[in-house]
Amino acid sequence: DMKVTQMPRYLIKRMGENVLLECGQDMSHETMYWYRQDPGLGLQLIYISYDVDSNSEGDIPKGYRVSRKKREHFSLILDSAKTNQTSVYFCASLTYNQAPLFGEGTRLSVL
Amino acid sequence: AQKVTQTQTSISVMEKTTVTMDCVYETQDSSYFLFWYKQTASGEIVFLIRQDSYKKENATVGHYSLNFQKPKSSIGLIITATQIEDSAVYFCAMRVNTGKLTFGDGTVLTVKP
């Protein structure tokens, strides 16, 4: 079964700490995404990755960076996290039927 | 720039009835993909159905179908014979040639017994 795995599922950090969110897929899909979702809102695109070391900014990249050194893994990094980065973060992988498959999300609280 | 708009914030229907959710989109691309997703109470985001812009036939999967009106840039989701478990937030999304996937703000569907 196709699956996108996000780790950790829940994370609490203090303002100013660095945050690493990880996403994995075992289907060798080329295109992957990072989104954030705030309460009552839709999903906002942070970054899109087309393959290893081929990343592009989405709509809200400020305060975030990404890393993709292996096709199966796509990481989202928050350097010196801010309280307004408290959100639920979703990773997705573009499947061969053209429909992105989403992970279960990471709930991040920055205190 | 791409934009997806869902004007209905919430809809409430009785079980076993049919519901339609609206979605309009904006893009300069001549070729694109349209999707509907469902987000459950647990937060899980589930793919439901897809429409390719070059196809004239409306997509149908199970009790989900689409009303694709390309001249109006509209892609409505129709759920027939609704069930209690269809209660969720429904998102419309569009993927363009760059791979960028843009979502609407969602419609909350409540199905009452």
Cα(A11)–Cα(A54) distance, integer angstroms: 27
Q: Please name every residue paired with B74 in a beta bridge, in sequence order, or none if there are none.
A: B24, B69
Q: Could you tell me which residues are beta bridge partners of residue B113?
A: none
**Residues B100, A58: C-beta atoms closer than 8 Å:** yes
Residue A97 pLDDT? 73
Contact list in A for residue B33 (CB cut-off 8 A) is 98-99
Q: Who wins on pLDDT, B98 or A49?
A: A49
Name the average pLDDT for chain A: 94
User: What is the predicted pLDDT for the residue at A29?
Assistant: 87
Q: Are A61 and A77 in contact (CB under 8 A)?
A: no
Nearest beta carbon to residue B106 from set A42, A48, A59? A42
Give B84 to chain A, closest Cα distance, Å: 21
Q: Does B20 touch chain A (CB under 8 A)?
A: no
Q: What are A17's two structure tokens?
A: 């700490």
